[in-house]
Structures are given as structure tokens and as C-alpha cells.
Structure 1
Amino acid sequence: MYMKAKKPTILATILLSSSMLVAACGNNDEPEENVPDGTAFEEEQNEKVDESLATDSPETEFGFRFLNLHISTPDNKDAIIAEYYGNSSRSEAVYKNMHAAADAQGDAAYTLLEQVFTDLQITQEMSKEEVIERVTTAFDAADYTNFDLEVEYEDGETKTYTDSKE
């Protein structure tokens, strides 16, 4: 009788142990939270963080950090206004263009200005005439009467370009 009572206990223990083992080794599609240090994923993240901390003034995507443009045409005073503050978020962009019926701020303004700025390619080494030519061409304002542009380039140098045809 002593042996018969021990067999169900042993069988129950083996069955419970087996089911726990199967559950622990089962297919788990979720990523493990306790990933050992030094994995490739973690190293890539650390490199990206280190690169961003290493640069004192990160390059902007357009070659300048700040742009403030006002163009008047014979039809409209302040026909084109474009403002961009690249040191902060996209929400600090403004674009008004009477000829293109554009009046936007924030992300919408940034979206409209992004392609223009990418194609613009102005640098601080360019002459005043070349900068004005590129900007008026990019904004389709060759018949301007007043042109006023202030740009802060990546190195922190600010230049002002003005012209009047009145």
C-alpha cells in the first residue's frame, strides 16, 4: 500500500514538471526584455547617440539655420514671406505667397518650403547678386520691387541681402 500511494505522487510530479518545462520552452513571438548587454542592436543605438552628442552644431539640411525673406512685387507689398528657424522644430516655419495662393504655418509651411530650400543651394561665399538671383528664381519673383533676405548660415554667420527696384 505504501508503494501505490507513492506512484501517483511521482507521476503527478513528473507530469507537472514536464508541463512547466514545455511552457518555459514554448514558442514566444515577443522579444525578450532581458537581452544581454553588447548586442548589435544596442551598439548601433549607442553609436547614433554618441554621434549626435559629438557635434557641437549639427549641419542643417539646407545649408542654413535661419532664413527670413520678404519680397514685394508691383502688385503686392510683402507678396512673398518665408521664415524658417532650423535650430528648432518644423513648427517654426511660415510661408505666404500671394502669387501661389499659399498661406501656411508650421508643418504645412515647412512642407511647401522644403523642396524650394533643397533646390536653392545658397552659400555665404556667393555674391549678393547670385543669392538674390537664386532666391527670386526659386520663389518665381523675378519682377520684385523690394527684396529683403536675412540668412544665418551653419557656422553662425548672418548675412543680409537687400535690393530695391523702385
Structure 2
Amino acid sequence: MSTSDALLALLEPAPAHGYTLKQDYDRWFAHKRPLAFGQVYATLTRLEKKGFVALADVEAGHGPDRRLYEITPDGVTALDAWVSTPQEPDLFATSTLYARLTVALLSGRDATQVLAGQREAHLTRMRELQKVRRDASGADLLAVTYELAHLDADLRWIEESGARLDQTRQALAAASGRADR
């Protein structure tokens, strides 16, 4: 999800100041990494140049002026297109697990240990999320169950990969011209 799409979505119900948008973004979308204020204002500037948001009001006060932004009809159209367009499934997950395992296999490192360590990290995170899920509702419940489903899929991949490490190691070695490993 891009910051631009998120800010457009947050502006759709009502105009808002950058500070409010940052707080709302962090509440709904930044479970692990809060959005920097600079990124909020840089994104709003880009959206304004594209015609997706407009300055609704400027309030003078102590310190910098407070700017109130609102979504434009073109911004609503862009948001509609983003929401209704299915996400392209990636060939490989954005996780580096695949890359780390491949490097371990190609370099002769202990790939079993890589998988075991990642398995334990996934299980630890799943236990944490199970506790959170008990009291979660609304968007928080959606986020928790989404992460749990992805962790579960990763665990299945870890188990399947572990079961065929020797075969995979041989195939990678042959493909890289290092059949002696």
C-alpha cells in the first residue's frame, strides 16, 4: 500500500490537517513503522500537484500555518481505481527468506539452521498474534488475521522446503556449475 493511497483514503471522509493524517495513518496502517511527518507533507504536496487533494484552509497561529487538506473529485476517482483494482500477486514474497535460504544453499551454509531459526521466529510471532487476536476487533482483527494467515503459509513453505533441501541443494549447485558442493 502506498502512502499516497492511504492518505487519499483518510481524506475521503472529511478534510484534515497533516498532523491528523499522520496520527490516523499510524493508527490504521503503520502497525510496526510509523509514518514520518516529512513523508506526510511531501506526499500531500505530490497529491496536490496531481490534482488529487486541494488546500481547503490555512489557519495562522503560533508557529507554522496549519493547512487543511481535502480530497478532490479526481482524488476520489484515483482512490476508487486503487481500491477496486486487484493486487498483482508477486512471483516471490517480499520476504527475504527465499533469498537467504538460496544463499545458504549456494554457499554451503547450514540451510536447515536457516529454516529452523525462521520457523521459531514465525511461531513466536504467531503466539503473540494469537494473544492480540483474542481482544481485537474491526480493522485490528483484519490486520491480525491477515498476518497470521501469511505466517501460516510461510510455515508450510518452510516445512516443504526443509523436506527437500538435499534435492534443492543439488539442483542449485548443478545450475550454478558448482556440482562439487
| Same fold flag (TM > 0.5) | no
TM-score (norm 1): 0.21
TM-score (norm 2): 0.20
Instruction: Give 1 or 2: higher helix fraction.
Output: 2
Instruction: Give 1 or 2: higher strand fraction.
Output: 1
Which structure would you say has the larger Rg? 1
Higher relative contact order (CA 8 A, sep 6+): 1
